[in-house]
Amino acid sequence: MADERARAAGAKPGQSVTQTGYETFQAALLDGRLRPGQMVSQRELVDMLSLSIGALRELLPRLQSEGLVLVRPQRGVQIPAIDLPMIRNAFQIRAALEREAVLHAVRTMPDELLLEQREKHLSILEQVETATGAGVFERGQDVDAGLHSLLIRATGNELLIRAYSINNIRIRLIRLDRILLSRATLPAAFRDHLAVIDAILARNLHGAMDAMDRHIANARTRATEL
C-alpha cells in the first residue's frame, strides 16, 4: 500500500511517499505556492503534496524539526516568516559550514575544478559589464549556487552536506524574497567568489577562510538592509 501511494505521488523507485512529499514541499516553497508567513490547513497540504493525512502527519515532525514549518494547534501549519532573526541564524549556520568546506578545499580540491569555476565567473561578469547575453542573471544564479555546492559536496561529509541542504532552503527563500542577483548585486558577489577561488588556488588557508567570511557577511548585509 505504501509503495502504491508513493508511485501515485510521483516517487522515484524505492523512495518513500513521505520523502516525495518532503521534496514536493521544498518545491512549493521555492516556486511560490507556499509563502513565508502563510498559514495553511493540513487538508490544503494533503492536496498540494499528494499525501494521505497519515503520511502528512509523519512528515510534519521532520519539517518542524528543520524549522520549515510551525504547527499551530487548532489553527493549521504556518510557514515561518523571513525576519531578521531568521536571516541572521541562517547566515551564521551557513558561515560555519562553508568555513569547513573551504578548509577542505584548500587541502584537497584540484586546480582544474577551481580554474573551471573561475572561468565561469569571469564569463558571467563580462556579460554583465558588456550587457550581452540574454538570461545572464539566471545563469549567474546557477554559477553562484554551483560554487557553493561544489565546495560543500567536495567535503564528502554526509552530515555536513545534509545540514547545508536543510539550511540552504532558508537561504534560497531569503534570496527569492530579498537578494536575487541583479546588475547592482552580481558584480560584488562574484568578486567575492573570485577572492575565495584565488585564495584556495594559492592554498592560502587563512586567506580563503577570510574571503568566505567576507562574502557571507556581505550577503547577510544585503539581506538585512532590504
Residue 45, domain CATH: 1.10.10.10
118 and 163 assigned to the same domain:
yes
Say whether both 158 and 213 belong to one domain: yes
The number of folded domains in the chain is 2
In the chain, the N- to C-terminal Cα span, in Å, equals 48
- Domain check: are 185 and 101 in the same one? yes
Average pLDDT over residues 149-153: 97
Domain boundary among 49, 78, 107: 78
Residue 109 sits in the same domain as residue 207: yes
The residue from 54, 78, 102 where one domain ends is 78
Which of 46, 78, 110 marks a domain boundary?
78
Tell me the CB-side half-sphere exposure of residue 158, using CA atoms within 13 A.
Answer: 0
Q: For all residues of the chain together, what is the average pLDDT?
A: 88
Query: Is residue 182 located within the same domain as residue 95?
Result: yes
Whether the CA torsion 56, 62, 68, 73 is positive or negative: it is positive
Percent pLDDT > 70 in the chain is 90
CA 204 to chain centre: 26
Above 80 in pLDDT, residue 179?
A: no
Identify whether residues 7 and 65 lie together within a single domain.
Answer: yes
Burial class (CB within 10 angstroms; exposed 0-12, middle 13-18, buried 19+) of 120 = buried
Q: Residue 59 and residue 62: Cα distance in Å, rounded?
A: 6
Residue 214 pLDDT more than 60? yes
- Do 33 and 102 lie in a common domain? no
Phi, psi of 76 (to 5 degrees): 135, -155
For residue 60, is pLDDT > 90? yes
Residues 123 and 177 in one domain: yes
Q: What is the CATH number of the domain that holds 144?
A: 1.20.120.530
The DSSP symbol for 34 reads S
**What residue spans of 155-185 are helical by DSSP H?**
158-174
Give me the domain span that covers residue 195: 84-225
Residues 210 and 179 in one domain: yes
Same domain, 205 and 97: yes
Please compute the mean of the pLDDT values over residues 119-144 and round it to a whole number: 88
pLDDT score for 5: 47
- What is the model's pLDDT at position 137? 86
Q: Are residues 141 and 156 in the same domain?
A: yes
Rounded to two decimals, the pTM is: 0.82
**Do 90 and 58 fall into the same domain?**
no
